[in-house]
Each structure stands twice: as structure tokens, then as C-alpha cells.
Amino acid sequence: MCSYCCGKELKEFTTTYAAVLGKYTIIIKNVPCLECVQCEEKYYSDEVMQNIERIATKAKELNSELFVAEYKAA
């Protein structure tokens, strides 16, 4: 259930994840998530968050200020 609006229905969805981390802008395409049908709040699983983290670390290693990647599971 949605902890934002208390909506009961979450559907599986893929989204484009974008984050600004200091000077780095990271865009990850086709990220799996659950979306609340009522308020469109998105939820990511721990596993997905870890993969996002991993991709973000790679962007920093590459010193890529604008990093665009396709989502890949580890």
C-alpha cells in the first residue's frame, strides 16, 4: 500500500530515474518500480536501489557530470 496517500493499489512500472548528486546528474532509463495508481508516487525495491547506487558510483568513477545509462541488474 502507498505510504503517501494510503492508496491500496500499486502497479509495476518502469520509469526514468534522475538524480543530482553534487555536480553529477545521473539519468537511468527503464528502472523497474511500483507506482501508486492514485497519486503516482513511485517505489523502488532495495535491490533496485542498490543497482542505482552502483550505477551512480560508476558515474563518479568516470567523472561523468552527465551520466545516462540503461538500467541493468547486477
**Residues lying near Zn ion in the complex (CB under 5 A):** 2, 4-5, 7, 36, 38-39, 41
Residue 5 beta carbon to Zn ion: minimum distance, rounded to whole angstroms: 3
Quick one: how far is CA 64 from the chain centroid?
A: 18
* 42 Cβ neighbours under 8 A, 6+ residues apart: 13, 15, 33, 34, 35, 36
All three cell numbers of 51, joined, read: 543497482
Residue 7 or 32: the one with the smaller Cβ distance to Zn ion is 7
Residue 27 beta carbon to Zn ion: minimum distance, rounded to whole angstroms: 24
Residue 6 or 21: the one with the smaller Cβ distance to Zn ion is 6
